[in-house]
Amino acid sequence: MTEPFRKTSESAVPAKDRLMVALDCPGDEALDMARSLSGHVRWLKVGMTLFYERGPDVVKRLSGEGFDVFLDLKLHDIPHQVQGAASRVAALGAKMLTVHAAGGAEMLKAALAGSREGAEQVGVSPPAVIAVTVLTSLSEADLSAVGLTSPAAVLVERLATLARDAGLAGVVCSPHEAAVVRGALGGSALVVTPGVRPAGFDSQDQSRVATPASAIRAGASHIVVGRPITGARTPVDVVHRIISEMEGES
């Protein structure tokens, strides 16, 4: 089975395909939003809230409407469980899936194996499995409180390398870590960055934001943007503004 996400050159990916819209709104609103974005974006990110509200059908439904679904469930459990969960996610037709790199090499390999098994069962391409390194919500003090005493940047690089060595397609990280991660993983890895705000937008509860252009410049292959789009009066206009900001950097 081919690995559709192992691309040879970042610049070969059109800016429209680098934007992932986070549908962090109640179910009906999320589905209406998806409909209004049809034809304007390729990727929608479904997180835990929407998934737990609407269940697996939401992935099938959005995929059926022509979107690529990034299912951000951040799996973290014993390898056997994660293998089973990744297999079911793949069989739903999700195109991207997250796991916590801190689950360790065996868990990461199990996620990859499960995603391939599930995809094969239904005859689709396996999703890209990418790893969450260090949650950007954790401060150095939070990390130290759970026994992680290295600086966050060191942990991020270490976990990104672990994910790469386990065969994963890439990682999720802050735009501020994208350059370090890109340097560690090389040009073909997926580097997916949330915490992105178009110039002039409120950062809301994101503590360290970057613009679409600066995230791409730092090495992001994809950016995740939620509320600046889903909370806008004219979401499609914001989508096009973000895409054109990225086009300046491709």
Gap between the Cα atoms of 167 and 205, Å rounded? 33
226: contact with ligand C5P by CB under 6 A: yes
Look at the block and give the residue holding tokens 């802050």: 174
In the complex, minimum distance from the CB of residue 203 to ligand C5P, in angstroms, rounded to a whole number: 8
Binding mask 70-89 for ligand C5P (x = CB under 6 A): --------------------
Angle at which helices 105-122 and 152-165 pack, to 10 degrees?
50
For residue 138, the minimal CB distance to ligand C5P (Å) is 9
Footprint (CB under 6 A) of ligand C5P, residues 26-65: 45, 47
When CB distances to ligand C5P are compared, the closest residue is 226
Q: Considering the complex, what minimum distance in angstroms separates the CB of residue 8 from ligand C5P?
A: 27
Query: Binders of ligand C5P: how many residues, by CB under 6 A?
Result: 15
Residues 6+ apart with CB under 8 A from 68: 42, 43, 44, 95, 96
- Strands 170-172 and 128-132, bridge-based pairing: parallel
Burial pattern 151-166, b for ≥16 Cβ within 10 A else e, equals: ebeebbbebbbbbbeb
Which parts of this chain interact with ligand C5P (CB under 6 A)?
22, 24, 45, 47, 135-136, 172, 194-195, 204, 206, 224-227
